């Protein structure tokens, strides 16, 4: 009823799905002023719906939206009105980092397949962000994708104005061939106040288990001229390193190391892209976040941050992490094709990796192995959209080096049974052979392994009620050496569900209460012996002060090395924003655990406070500190402290200075350990970086990093290495 009344009050919105995007030949000066004549020819709409936290209620503030195209670019403009413009939240950030600000943007389904979309956003100070959205995957927003496009923004008396020009050469799309194209499109605005209000040109039905499928439909684009889409980015990196072999030796200065590289991005056609890299510098411009690496039997997961692998990474997405490109540690050459033709979507990459690393999984843990030889790493992914609701996929990976190879091939199916129910199936088979050194080092039973992975998953997601079930089998001989695989020899039966109470009033003190359960049972695939059983009860809350909180009661039985460990514990977290410039957070866990080193019961207490503070327009400080205590029958086994400080001063939307300091302190009780350990160990690493980004791909970096430690034998901190580096890259 509310949506029907809203359509009457805002003429044109209800018919937005049948609108045509006008073609114009008038010039546009991007200055955030809306005084160009072409905006008089553009299609004009209003963002009349609040889709979250309100449920398709009238938007609390007015937002005008214009759209047109000039044959080479999609042209967009927003006038974001605000009754209290002094409360607009806007900071200078690096691109892709302003998500707590006010901002506007557009989501584009250029193939009209109702599966995948490009996202472009701008905040009131003109800072850009872009991302991709893949409705076929969970957690499908990927902000790592970058594109070259133009925008301008300006604060005005009653809000702010944004103009955007997105070249068609920066996005993939079907070939027009003189016929009109149909795109899915959603224009949105985020208005963060007591709660974060999401405004849109369309209503969003929460009873539909998809987002892109609800976009409004727009036609046009008959006269698109994509032109030559070729980007060449030569890079130069110069580094000076100082280090010492051990704490007692003196610092030695290496010779300066200079390397040149080249990145190529070629849009062969509007729907086919080639990426290539030669001698890339894949050093981390940003350090990985600190993670707990004590008392764990599984390898840690780190997200990908390198541009070559991030470009069109969603084309390689599969129901499980069969392709984990952080396993490609140091390639000297790489090539990648991605494209979409009609219902066919495909991707392929290959690289020569000078370092060969892969996971060695088992039923109770996993380790990271490395070989000193180089290797070929390759992967391919294909998806066929048989119908709007049915997608079939194929995937293959291959890794080979001297006396080593690993490969897999698999198929998967995704079926949207109706608007709320989804079915996924996966079948994968693998073969691997390891050298004797790996067999001996990791106590493997044999050199050759073969096996499969089989998965069934059903998911129901409605407005309030949701439930799911999944069955997974990883054979004892299954391997995915180019993927992220923690466990094999495993049968896993899982399921859960819950109910959300949603408040449709976007101005209320609460917007959502939720209660859910998540349960699983894991057993060995070869003998059906129990590995783990879990029951979890979860409560969630979202409301005023942009609060998000959850609390979990967990009863778990873990079997490790033949011993059974009953575990009851609680964990939860809360994040809220008491002031527009300040966000506070706390994570906590208290209860039973396992001392995996000595295979005995333990108890864990863990807290992680954090804050994010914006000081002025351009300075932001993020801090978190984790403290974890593990106690056993004889006393405290260890105390772990992990601290991380990230401070960033953004001078302009292009230039910034960033400091990252990471601290690790481990205090252990040697009397409670079976082997000799240090009572005290500390490590401190720092990274200082000046960055200038002319655009998403033309960059200049000047950086310094160091790392040092102390322990029982070296009580005073010793700096072990220092590096100064310069990196330059320019896109032609």
Question: For 388-440, how does the pLDDT look when each residue is reduced to its tens digit (9 = 90+)?
Answer: 889 999 999 999 988 899 999 999 999 999 989 999 999 999 999 999 888 88
- pLDDT (average), residues 600-615: 95
Residue 503 in this model has a pLDDT that exceeds 80: yes
- Cα four-point dihedral sign 327, 330, 333, 338: positive
pLDDT for residue 284: 54
With cut-offs at 50, 70 and 90, classify the pLDDT of residue 601.
very high
Q: Which of 43-47, 89-93, 238-242 has the highest mean pLDDT?
A: 43-47
* Phi, psi of 41, rounded to the nearest 5 degrees: -90, -15
CA 74 from chain centre, in angstroms, equals: 26
Pairing mode, strands 547-560 and 530-543:
antiparallel
Question: Residue 9: what pLDDT?
Answer: 41
Cβ atoms of residues 407 and 377 within 8 Å = no
Each residue's pLDDT tens digit, 433-460: 999 888 888 888 888 999 999 999 999 9
DSSP state of 8: H
pLDDT band with cut points at 50, 70 and 90 for residue 226? low
Place of tokens 């994040």: 575
For strands 216-220 and 19-20, give the pairing: parallel
- Report which of 413, 469, 479, 482 is spatially closest to residue 446, judged by C-alpha positions: 479
List pLDDT tens digits, range 647-666.
Answer: 999 988 889 999 999 999 99
pTM: 0.85
Tens-digit pLDDT profile for residues 692-718: 988 877 889 999 999 999 999 888 888
Residue 369's H or E segment, with its range, is strand 366-371
Cα 516 from chain centre? 24
Quote the mean pLDDT of the chain.
89
Question: Is the pLDDT at 283 greater than 70, yes or no?
Answer: no
Q: What angle do CA 126, 132, 137 make, to 5 degrees?
A: 150
> DSSP labels for 456-490?
EEEEEE-SSEEEEEEEEEE-TT---TTS---B-SE
Distance CA 547, CA 529 (A): 42
> What tokens appear for 669 in the block?
């009780």
At 5, the pLDDT band (50, 70, 90 cuts) reads very low
Report the distance separating Cα 701 and Cα 715, nearest Å. Answer: 35
Burial of 188 (0-12, 13-18, 19+ CB in 10 A): buried
Q: What is the pLDDT of residues 34-68, one digit of tens each?
A: 999 999 999 999 999 999 998 899 999 999 999 99
Q: pLDDT category, 1, cuts 50, 70, 90?
A: very low
Taking only the tens place, the pLDDT of each residue in 107-141 is: 999 989 888 899 999 999 999 999 888 877 665 67
Mean pLDDT of 482-489: 90
Q: Is the pLDDT of residue 288 over 80?
A: no
Residues 276-298 have a mean pLDDT of 74
What is the band of 646 on the pLDDT scale with cuts at 50, 70, 90?
Answer: very high
CA–CA separation, 391 and 385 (whole Å): 4
């Amino acid at each position: 009823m509310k949506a029907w009344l809203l359509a009457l009050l805002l003429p044109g919105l209800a018919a937005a799905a049948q609108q045509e995007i006008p073609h114009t030949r008038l010039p546009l000066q991007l200055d955030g002023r809306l005084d160009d004549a072409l905006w008089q020819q553009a299609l004009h709409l209003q963002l009349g719906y609040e889709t979250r936290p309100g449920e398709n209620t009238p938007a609390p503030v007015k937002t005008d939206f214009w759209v047109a195209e000039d044959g080479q670019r999609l042209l967009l403009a927003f006038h974001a009105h605000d009754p209290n413009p002094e409360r607009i939240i806007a900071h200078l950030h690096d691109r892709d980092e302003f998500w707590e600000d006010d901002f506007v943007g557009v989501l584009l389904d250029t193939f009209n397949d109702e599966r995948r979309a490009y996202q472009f956003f701008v905040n009131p100070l003109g800072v850009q962000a872009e991302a991709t959205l893949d409705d076929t995957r969970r957690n499908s927003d990927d902000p790592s994708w970058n594109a070259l496009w133009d925008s301008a923004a300006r604060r005005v008396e009653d809000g702010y104005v944004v103009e955007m020009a997105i070249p068609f050469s920066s996005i993939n799309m079907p070939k027009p061939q003189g016929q009109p194209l149909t795109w899915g499109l959603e224009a949105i605005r985020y208005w963060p106040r007591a709660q974060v209000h999401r405004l849109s040109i369309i209503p969003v039905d929460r009873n539909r288990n998809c987002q892109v499928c609800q976009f409004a439909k727009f036609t046009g684009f008959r006269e698109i001229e994509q032109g030559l889409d070729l980007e060449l980015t030569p890079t130069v990196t110069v580094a000076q390193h100082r280090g010492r072999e051990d704490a007692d030796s003196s610092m030695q200065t290496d010779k300066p190391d200079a390397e040149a590289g080249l990145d190529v991005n070629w849009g062969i056609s509007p729907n086919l892209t080639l990426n290539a890299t030669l001698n890339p510098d894949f050093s981390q411009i940003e350090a990985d976040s600190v993670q707990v690496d004590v008392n764990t039997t599984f390898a840690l997961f780190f997200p990908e941050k390198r541009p070559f692998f991030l470009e069109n990474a969603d084309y390689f997405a599969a129901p499980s992490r069969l392709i984990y490109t952080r396993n490609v540690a140091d390639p000297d050459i790489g090539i990648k094709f991605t494209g979409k033709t009609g219902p066919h979507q495909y991707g392929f990459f290959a690289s020569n990796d000078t370092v060969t690393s892969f996971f060695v999984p088992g039923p109770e843990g996993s380790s990271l192995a490395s070989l000193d030889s180089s290797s070929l790493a390759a992967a391919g992914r294909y998806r066929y959209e048989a119908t709007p609701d049915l997608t079939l996929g194929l995937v293959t990976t291959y890794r080979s080096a001297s006396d080593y190879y690993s490969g897999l091939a698999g198929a998967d199916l995704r079926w949207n049974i109706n608007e709320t129910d989804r079915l996924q199936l996966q079948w994968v088979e693998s073969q691997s052979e390891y050298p004797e050194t790996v067999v001996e080092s990791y106590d493997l039973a044999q050199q050759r392994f073969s096996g499969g992975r089989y998965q069934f998953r059903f998911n129901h997601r409605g407005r309030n009620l949701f439930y799911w079930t999944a069955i997974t089998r990883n054979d004892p001989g299954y391997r995915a050496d180019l993927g992220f695989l923690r466990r094999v020899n495993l049968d896993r039966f899982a399921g859960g569900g819950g109910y959300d109470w949603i408040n449709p009033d976007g101005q209320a003190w609460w917007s959502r209460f939720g209660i859910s359960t998540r349960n699983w049972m894991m057993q060995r695939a070869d003998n059906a012996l129990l590995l783990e059983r879990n029951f979890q009860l979860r409560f969630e809350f979202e409301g005023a002060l942009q609060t998000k909180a959850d609390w979990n009661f967990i009863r778990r039985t873990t079997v490790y090395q033949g011993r059974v460990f009953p575990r009851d514990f609680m964990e939860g977290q809360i994040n809220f924003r008491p002031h527009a410039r300040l966000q506070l957070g706390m994570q906590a866990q208290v209860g039973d655990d396992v001392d995996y080193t000595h295979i005995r019961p333990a108890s864990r207490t863990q807290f992680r406070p954090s804050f994010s503070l914006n000081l002025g327009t351009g300075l932001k400080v993020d801090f978190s500190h984790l403290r974890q205590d593990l106690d056993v029958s004889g006393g405290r086994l260890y105390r772990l402290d992990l601290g991380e400080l990230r401070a960033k001063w953004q001078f302009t939307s292009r230039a910034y200075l960033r400091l990252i300091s990471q601290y690790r302190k481990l205090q252990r009780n040697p009397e409670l350990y079976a082997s000799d350990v240090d009572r005290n160990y500390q490590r401190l690493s720092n990274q200082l970086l000046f960055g200038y980004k002319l655009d998403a791909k033309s960059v200049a970096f000047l950086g310094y990093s160091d790392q040092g430690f102390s322990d029982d034998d070296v009580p005073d901190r010793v700096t072990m290495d220092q590096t100064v580096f310069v990196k330059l890259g320019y896109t032609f």
